[in-house]
Amino acid sequence: MSVNRENVLSYKGSNFFRQRLVLSVLSGKPIFISDIRILEDEPGLREFEVSLIRLLDKITNGTTVELNETGTSVYFLPGLLYGGEVDHDCSLERGVGYYLEALVMLGLFCKQPLKATLKGVTSNNIDPSVDLVKTSMLQTMRKFILDDEGLDLKISKRGLRPLGGGEVIFKCPIRKQTRPVQLSDFGMVKRIRGTAYALRVSPAIANRMVDKAKGVLLQFIPDVYINTDQCRGKQSGKSPGFGIHLVAETTMDVCYSSEQVSNVVSIGEETSVPEDLGAAAAQRLLYEIYLGGVIDSTSQSVAILCMALGDKDVSKVVMGPLSDYSIWFLRHLREFFGITFKIQHLEDEEENTGRGCKKILLTCVGIGYTNLSKRTI
Amino acid sequence: MENAEPSKQKAHRDRHSGRKTDKKKAKKNADGAIVENDAKQKNPKAFAFNSAIRAERRFRRKQDINTKKEHIPLVDRTPIEPPPLLVAVVGPPKVGKTTLINSLIKLFTKLPLTDIKGPVTIVTGKKRRITFVECNNDINSMIDLAKVADLALLLCDASFGFEMEVFEFLNICQVHGMPKIMGVLTHLDMIKNSKTLKTTKKTLKHRFWTEVYPGAKLFYLSGILHGEYLKNESKNLGRFISVMKFRPLQWRTTHSYLVGDRYEDLTNQELIRQNPKCDRNVALYGYVRGVPLKKENWVHIPGFGDQKIHDVSFLPDPCPLPEQLKKRALIEKEKFIYAPFSGVGGIVYDKDAVYVELGGSHSYKNREEDESNTIVANLLDVKETLDEKMKHSELQIFTGGDKLTAEDIDESDSLIAPEKNSQTHSLVDEKFKQLLKKSFEKVNAGDRIRRRVVFNDKENVDSDHDELLSDAEDLEKDNDSEVDQQDMENEESDSEKEVANSANEETDEEESEEDDVKWKDDLMKKARDSFFERHSSNQNLMKLVYGSFDNKKAMETVGMEEGSDDGIGELFKKVSRNQHEIRENKDIINLTESSLSLPWDSVMTDWTDPQKIILISNCFVTGKWKESEDASELLKLDDADLSDKDSEVFGDFEDLETGETHKAKDETGEKRKREETDKPSDTALIEKKKKLKERFDAEYDNTDKSNHYEELKMQNEKQSQLNKTVFEDMPEDMRVQIEGFRPGMYVRIEFKNVPAEFIQHFDPTYPLIIGALNMGEENIGYVNVKIKKHRWYKKILKTNDPVIISLGWRRFQTIPYYSKLEDDMKYRYLKYTPEHLACNAHFWGPITPQGTGFLALQVIQSDQEAMKHIGFRIAATGSVQELDKSTKIMKKLKLIGHPLKIYKKTAFIKGMFNSSLEVARFEGARIKTVSGIRGQIKKAVNKPEGCFRATFEDKILLSDIVFCRTWYKVDAPQFYSPVNTLLLPPDKKGFWKGLRSTGEIKRELGIRNAANQDSMYTDIEREQKPFKPLIIPNKLQKALPYKDKPKHGVKLSEMKKGVQRVSVIREPHEQKISTMMKMLRSSYDQKQSKLKEETKKRLEKHRQEIEAIEADKGKKLKQKKKEVFRRKSKAQQKEKERG
């Protein structure tokens, strides 16, 4: 189509595939990715990446994708975000969270409110689980939009590896733009909540995880309450397993979350012990609290994106140390949107021992991105 | 004399003493002001509350008025030092535009400027600069200028009246966001008659008001003296301009733009010599306006096309505002004037050259500067010169090379650690390394200019010391906790990672060190040294994320040119960039992507370990609160407020109390705190109190909090304050990267591969505008707009006829498809735009934000002949509604078929479709006959292909026609062609030719449509209809009355026709009788006519007589009346005399 060749961004390798596609859709810049896993036994795109392309194709209008024969290079020409009702069977190689994260980033700027039904694995070890998306990412999004009516994630079924069977419904309203925010106070943790679930295994396992997790957390704060999510029949997916998800809420409504999910015995991983899992989740939560900031380490990229896309005003957000993913996200943002963040250590005049690690202050001027798909009357 | 007397009277003197004055004084003092509610006090009943309804109405009206005044508060983004005001002088030819600009420039600068071309920037006041631009008589220029002008001076020849151009320009302005408009009437001296002058002024003023707004300013320039406007009139106009205030316009608060006031051709002269048509590299100059300009933006140059910015750099302001305000008015020296196209303006320092304007002739040999100029540049230019760069390059290559090897060895892993410091990085190590490096440098530097070496040395020693100290402090400060953390992390991750981490840190440190040294080389930047030291840690963080930060071309150009302008920093970076890439290629490139900082199943250390607990204990509400939030601390401050002296005692007491309630862990904290609170002096305490007071005020004092509007306004104000201050203390070159080039900066933008025509056919009288495009706006798609044909345009617009559209920055030709949005949200195709209604249009064009206004033209040629019969040129206006990559226009389609065979209610229909496959697509569709019988398509039948069975609600006739009403999707053609008037030779700029409509082509080629034979007029031939004879049954005949009975005899007419008369031959006697009778009759007739004549005469006579009598009577009456009036008047006179 009519696209200036100069505008195409080219990359190499499969890493940050989702980042690049999402930013490409938002910015309207076509991308060309080559050398995808050329040195591996199975070269080219994996199933989960193709599935992501499919999903993006479903929520956009006018997207063109060209793959070469081996699948080692992709040319992606984005269309305009359309939204609407989408039904997608996610690849089982990755969790639903992998796809949800993309939708969270894109959902606000669709033509019609998004209602996506995603099916697949709801939690695994390498992706944020759907619980985490709900507690952390959506919470982050809420900070950047004035009115969050219609922003919702419903977990109707849970499903674990290897067969999946989970289902979530993600609803996202459309907005014209995100607003600039200045968030520096992250408060103190006032309570800890959580969910433990045991799917197709003994329900007592959930309680065992809860007990252990509470044992760790009660040393810090008395207000700990962990739910056990009883999933029966179809709600519990197709594979056995269990997991736990913890959220720490602060006085300033900041959420830190962590989670653990059991190993899959059927594919040769060693059996996980519920007690260990519970303790590990609690430890991980403490680690997240240690990292701190206004934004959870997992949803840093969402926050960064919202800051970058905001009105042409200054946004300031205090975060914990940047994760590798966010660092690359910042780099990609610079290439796609030409936005550079001012990154500095937070200088707090008050002494702050015992308040976790050193925080980072991100400052930027938004690019004034507006929803180009939305229809005005 | 008499009149003068009252003024001489003594003025009244107030009494200052006495009882009354005392009373008055008492009153005044009690209220603090003069009592104005006197009447209220005297007659309180009159002011009592008496009608609830009226009060309610009053209240409601007040609220209405208040609400009407409210606008959505916007964040104020006007820069601290705004760019010059852009004043466009617009009007039809020969109205005095140039004269006006001349006299205004003369007014402000006292310098007469002859031969003005392009924009002229002058300093008019302490805080205001103005750029004047004259708009030539080309609708393209008018459109472009309307988009950028802050103020339009609309000139009009009063002796002629308003011309079409004026109204066209007003309309263009309305569409593209109304700038301020001021009308100026000239040629008033041509109207000699003072009365006509007055009426002309009035009518013109009122017409202008209806167009702009009632009360819009219209200036009168009464005449010309010595080729200039009268001095005081132009002075008044100038005053009006210089105090004018502006409202932000939507498009301009979201887009940055420049009005180019200078250009340079940077192409190698040799290339041009070889091929004069080769693509050029061009630099354009101008003040940034609107919002900050980002280097990564695409820009659109109206009349030329989209361009990618190659490079942007800011230059010192060529026309600066006075720095210090010493006097009320400007000094002559500060009245700058800058107009490069007209050959005015001082020396301009550029990135790689100095330009000295040689009056009048505009030369672009920027490469060949003579020796003296370079020296001047050396002295004046803030950036590095070529010579310096060369020297640098040697040095840097050397050290860079060193580094390259070092990096090769060290860097083997990715940048993973977010933390800056690592425990493996010992202080001693660093010191050693730094010293090592410095010595290296010294050696290297030894070959170069001596002065430099000494300078560096000294600096190094000092800064070494400082840096080390500060580093050490830094490390100590953050590391008691952080070291632990690092420990843990490293324990968790495998040892390889750890090594890589530390290696990374090292290299980063080194890099920054290198950079520091380089900066210090620069004279200008030396001043900022201290600042960099302060922010070195931040620099490192940014470097960690963005790589080599101060390299502006990071990541973009992989293929490097050996550009002499890019100097040595570039060379050095290239190495590091390659390193980066290699590293990326090796490790990260094909990793699994995950937004988690660590996978969930990675092993954590035990956080319940008491050593670790300390690190996060205060993250919980159970831990120690911040001083500003801690309840006990706040209480203590309150007490301090109450009694300054006893604060210590109270504080102690308080502490004991909390100590009792809290745990042991807390106590230690409290103790420490107590020590601290004891230390700080009163000033710190006051500071703290002030802060608390502020917080308190913010929470409680704001009584308007319920008022949403006020709150919003305050928020926006806060935001704008933050926008202005947050980057204030950053060095300019970094700030520019984060924030973009702020409005008001004078920048130079480089473009590559510009067609040679842009330079060859450059005409400064055409405005050169560089409009930045926001994200996504460089793309093309379907634009759905709301459009209305202009009521002054004579024709309606036809679908598929190309139009020229001005939308956003762009002017382009495209083919719109008109449609109407039906109630079921379907866009129904329209062949023509409705006459007086808005409709929708889809066209293939640039993606532009919703709500942007646009206008459509059919002709842009400034051809006088064509203009004459076109009249108003703006064909339609509207605004963008929606953007998409496809269209949904549906055209109404009627399929027609005929019955083949009819059973009761079933019929077989043929001719509607061509195949049974088509029928299958329409099964179940509703059909209808002409007579209105409804039915449904059932199923295709085999035999005649395309024939189908259908059922109807009634039996249809074989002569019926069957319709099937459906919709057909039409796609608007993907045609988009920018109007590139700037590339045309000067004499053809006004005659851009694009796609022609079918009608135009046919008209030109003389092709006429073959007329439809069926539509031709033919003579009407009507056959006589033979009716059957009327047969009345015998029985009925009998019953009929006679007159209605059929007569069987011969009809009278038949008789007349058919009967042959027998000629009568009279007898002689009969003949006699008949002659006699004839004579008698004729004599009788004669008599009668005579009688008639006489009667007529008599009557006439009688009438005359009567008339004469009447006239006589009237005469007499008149005389009488006259007499009476005479007498009466005499009597009156007498009476008057008497009285």
Residue at which a domain ends, from B985, B1008, B1031: B1008
Test A330 with B545 for CB contact under 8 angstroms. Answer: yes
Instruction: Determine the Cα–Cα distance for residues A228 and A194; give it in Å rounded to an integer.
Output: 8
The answer to whether residues B152 and B227 belong to one domain is yes
Selected for mutation to probe chain B from A179, A284, A353 (highest B CB count within 10 Å) is A353
Q: Is the pLDDT of residue A46 over 60?
A: yes
Q: Is residue B480 part of a domain?
A: yes
What is residue B345's predicted lDDT score, i.e. its pLDDT? 67
Mean pLDDT of B574-578: 47
Q: Is residue B515 part of a domain?
A: yes
- Name the H helices within B990-1067: 998-1005, 1034-1039, 1052-1058
Q: What is the ipTM of this complex?
A: 0.92
Distance of alpha carbon A35 from the chain centroid: 26
Mean pLDDT of B157-182: 93
The answer to whether residues B538 and B491 belong to one domain is yes
Pick B605 or A36 by higher pLDDT: A36
Test B886 with A62 for CB contact under 8 angstroms. Answer: yes
Q: Is the pLDDT of residue B629 over 80?
A: no
CATH code where residue B994 lies: 2.40.30.10
The answer to whether residues B215 and B165 belong to one domain is yes
254-283 in chain A: CB under 8 A from chain B: 258-261, 263, 280, 283
What is residue B526's predicted lDDT score, i.e. its pLDDT? 41
What is residue B14's predicted lDDT score, i.e. its pLDDT? 82
The answer to whether residues A273 and A208 belong to one domain is yes
CB B885 within 8 A of CB A80: yes
Mean pLDDT of B330-359: 70
DSSP code string of B547-584: SSTT-TTTTT-SSPP--GGGHHHHHHHHHHHHHHHHHI
Q: Is residue B46 part of a domain?
A: no
Mean pLDDT of A176-199: 91
Test A350 with B627 for CB contact under 8 angstroms. Answer: yes
- B295 touches A: beta carbon within 8 Å: yes
The answer to whether residues A208 and A239 belong to one domain is yes
In 3D space, the residue among B885, B871, B876, B870 whose CA is nearest the CA of residue B805 turns out to be B876
Q: Is the pLDDT of residue B323 over 90?
A: no
Pick B5 or A133 by higher pLDDT: A133
Test A313 with B723 for CB contact under 8 angstroms. Answer: yes
Nearest CA in chain B to A3: B779
The answer to whether residues A194 and A281 belong to one domain is yes
The answer to whether residues A163 and A245 belong to one domain is no
% of chain A surpassing 70 pLDDT: 97
Test A364 with B292 for CB contact under 8 angstroms. Answer: no
Q: Is the pLDDT of residue B558 over 60?
A: no
Read off the DSSP letter of residue B988.
G
CATH code where residue B928 lies: 2.40.10.190
What is residue B580's predicted lDDT score, i.e. its pLDDT? 54
What is residue B643's predicted lDDT score, i.e. its pLDDT? 53
Residue B867 lies in domain: 779-887+971-1008
Flag the least confident range among B247-256, B472-481, B1025-1034, B1087-1096: B472-481
Structure-token match 């979350």, residue found: A257
Neighbours of B660 (CB within 10 A): 8
Neighbours of A348 (CB within 10 A): 14
Band the pLDDT of B468: cuts 50, 70, 90. Answer: very low
Mean pLDDT of A43-61: 94
What is residue B897's predicted lDDT score, i.e. its pLDDT? 95
- Tens of pLDDT, residue by residue over B681-696, are 677 888 888 888 877 7
Mean pLDDT of A239-267: 92
Band the pLDDT of B664: cuts 50, 70, 90. Answer: very low
CB A129 within 8 A of CB A100: no
Sign of CA dihedral B736, B741, B746, B751: positive
Band the pLDDT of B640: cuts 50, 70, 90. Answer: low
The answer to whether residues A171 and A88 belong to one domain is yes
Mean pLDDT of B559-585: 44
Mean pLDDT of B638-654: 49
Instruction: Determine the Cα–Cα distance for residues B604 and B597; give it in Å rounded to an integer.
Output: 13
Nearest CA in chain A to B847: A372
Q: Is the pLDDT of residue B705 over 80?
A: no
Q: Residue B481: its chain A contacts at CB < 8 A? A: 353, 357
Mean pLDDT of A298-318: 93
The answer to whether residues A73 and A91 belong to one domain is no
Nearest CA in chain B to A354: B615
User: How many Å from the N-terminal Cα to the C-terminal Cα in chain B?
Assistant: 33
Residue A227 lies in domain: 189-285
Instruction: Determine the Cα–Cα distance for residues A32 and A65; give it in Å rounded to an integer.
Output: 10
The answer to whether residues B191 and B210 belong to one domain is yes
What is residue B579's predicted lDDT score, i.e. its pLDDT? 55
Instruction: Determine the Cα–Cα distance for residues B1113 and B1120; give it in Å rounded to an integer.
Output: 11
Nearest CA in chain A to B596: A298
Band the pLDDT of B585: cuts 50, 70, 90. Answer: low
Across-strand partners of A33? A11, A74
Take residue A6 and report the two structure tokens written for it: 């100069």
% of chain B surpassing 70 pLDDT: 72
Q: Is the pLDDT of residue B1084 over 70?
A: yes
- Tens of pLDDT, residue by residue over A331-354, are 999 999 989 999 988 876 666 677
In 3D space, the residue among B766, B760, B750, B749 whose CA is nearest the CA of residue B979 turns out to be B766
Q: Is the pLDDT of residue A172 over 50?
A: yes
Number of domains forming the structure of chain A: 4
Q: Is residue A181 part of a domain?
A: no
The answer to whether residues A89 and A145 belong to one domain is yes
What is residue A116's predicted lDDT score, i.e. its pLDDT? 96
Pick B490 or B879 by higher pLDDT: B879
Distance of alpha carbon A57 from the chain centroid: 20
Number of domains forming the structure of chain B: 4
CB B961 within 8 A of CB B898: yes
CB B963 within 8 A of CB B983: no
What is residue B754's predicted lDDT score, i.e. its pLDDT? 92
Q: Is residue B270 part of a domain?
A: no
The answer to whether residues A73 and A92 belong to one domain is no
Instruction: Determine the Cα–Cα distance for residues B637 and B633; give it in Å rounded to an integer.
Output: 6
Test B780 with A2 for CB contact under 8 angstroms. Answer: yes
**B695 CB burial (10 A radius; 0-12, 13-18, 19+):** exposed
The answer to whether residues B840 and B876 belong to one domain is yes
The answer to whether residues A246 and A303 belong to one domain is no
Q: Is residue A372 part of a domain?
A: no
Test B607 with A324 for CB contact under 8 angstroms. Answer: no
The answer to whether residues A96 and A111 belong to one domain is yes
The answer to whether residues B336 and B454 belong to one domain is no
Q: Is residue A224 part of a domain?
A: yes
Band the pLDDT of B220: cuts 50, 70, 90. Answer: very high
Q: Average pLDDT of chain B?
A: 77
Test B599 with A321 for CB contact under 8 angstroms. Answer: no
Test A126 with B849 for CB contact under 8 angstroms. Answer: no
Q: Is residue B1059 part of a domain?
A: no
Band the pLDDT of B991: cuts 50, 70, 90. Answer: confident
Mean pLDDT of B1128-1134: 94
Residue at which a domain ends, from A144, A175, A206: A175
Pick B368 or A213 by higher pLDDT: A213
Distance of alpha carbon B993 from the chain centroid: 27
CB A261 within 8 A of CB A300: no
Q: Is residue A312 part of a domain?
A: yes
Mean pLDDT of B327-354: 72
Q: Is residue A264 part of a domain?
A: yes
Band the pLDDT of A121: cuts 50, 70, 90. Answer: very high
- B620 touches A: beta carbon within 8 Å: yes
The answer to whether residues A74 and A109 belong to one domain is no
The answer to whether residues B160 and B89 belong to one domain is yes
3-state secondary structure B356-405: ECCCCCCCCCCCCCCHHHHHHHHHHCCCCCHHHHHHHHHHHHHHHHHHHH
The answer to whether residues A64 and A140 belong to one domain is no
- Tens of pLDDT, residue by residue over B732-772, are 888 898 889 999 999 999 999 999 999 999 999 999 999 99
The answer to whether residues B937 and B824 belong to one domain is no
Test A188 with B485 for CB contact under 8 angstroms. Answer: no
The answer to whether residues B147 and B229 belong to one domain is yes
Instruction: Determine the Cα–Cα distance for residues A119 and B851; give it in Å rounded to an integer.
Output: 38
User: How many Å from the N-terminal Cα to the C-terminal Cα in chain A?
Assistant: 28
Q: Residue A259: its chain B contacts at CB < 8 A? A: 600
What is residue B963's predicted lDDT score, i.e. its pLDDT? 94
Q: Which long-range contacts (CB under 8 A, 24 or more apart) does A59-62 make?
A: A59/A83, A59/A84, A59/A86, A59/A103, A59/A106, A59/A110, A59/A114, A59/A116, A60/A25, A61/A111, A61/B884, A61/B885, A61/B886, A62/A1, A62/B781, A62/B884, A62/B885, A62/B886
Residue at which a domain ends, from A252, A285, A318: A285
CATH code where residue A10 lies: 3.30.110
CATH code where residue A90 lies: 3.65.10.20
The answer to whether residues B238 and B202 belong to one domain is yes
Strands of the sheet with A182-183, listed across from one edge: A182-183, A314-319, A360-365, A342-345
Instruction: Determine the Cα–Cα distance for residues A221 and B182; give it in Å rounded to an integer.
Output: 69
What is residue B391's predicted lDDT score, i.e. its pLDDT? 43
- Tens of pLDDT, residue by residue over B224-272, are 888 889 989 999 999 999 888 888 898 999 999 999 998 889 898 899 9
What is residue B538's predicted lDDT score, i.e. its pLDDT? 58
Q: Residue A49: its chain B contacts at CB < 8 A? A: none
CATH code where residue A311 lies: 3.30.1370
Neighbours of B491 (CB within 10 A): 12
Pick B929 or A231 by higher pLDDT: B929
Take residue B705 and report the two structure tokens written for it: 């909090």
Instruction: Determine the Cα–Cα distance for residues B422 and B505; give it in Å rounded to an integer.
Output: 7
CB A264 within 8 A of CB A160: yes
Mean pLDDT of B585-605: 78
The answer to whether residues B465 and B527 belong to one domain is yes
Three-state DSSP class for residue B1066: coil
Band the pLDDT of B542: cuts 50, 70, 90. Answer: confident
- A338 touches B: beta carbon within 8 Å: yes
Q: Is the pLDDT of residue B589 over 80?
A: no
Residue at which a domain ends, from A141, A175, A209: A175
What is residue B33's predicted lDDT score, i.e. its pLDDT? 54
66-125 in chain A: CB under 8 A from chain B: 79-80, 101, 111, 125
132-171 in chain A: CB under 8 A from chain B: none
Q: Is residue A376 part of a domain?
A: no
What is residue B525's predicted lDDT score, i.e. its pLDDT? 43
What is residue B485's predicted lDDT score, i.e. its pLDDT? 43
Instruction: Determine the Cα–Cα distance for residues A258 and A278; give it in Å rounded to an integer.
Output: 11
- B849 touches A: beta carbon within 8 Å: yes
Q: Residue A216: its chain B contacts at CB < 8 A? A: 607-608
Q: Is residue A211 part of a domain?
A: yes
What is residue B810's predicted lDDT score, i.e. its pLDDT? 95
Q: Is residue B336 part of a domain?
A: yes
Residue at which a domain ends, from B381, B403, B428: B381
Give the minimum alpha-carbon distance from A226 to chain B in angstroms, rounded to a whole number.
18
Q: Which of A61, A180, A297 is the closest to B884 by Cβ?
A: A61
- Tens of pLDDT, residue by residue over B485-497, are 444 444 444 333 3
Q: Residue B308: its chain A contacts at CB < 8 A? A: 4, 6-7
Instruction: Determine the Cα–Cα distance for residues B650 and B633; give it in Å rounded to an integer.
Output: 11
Test B292 with A27 for CB contact under 8 angstroms. Answer: no
**B800 CB burial (10 A radius; 0-12, 13-18, 19+):** middle
Instruction: Determine the Cα–Cα distance for residues B787 and B819; give it in Å rounded to an integer.
Output: 10
Residue at which a domain ends, from B1008, B1031, B1065: B1008
The answer to whether residues B932 and B911 belong to one domain is yes
Take residue B924 and report the two structure tokens written for it: 């179940």
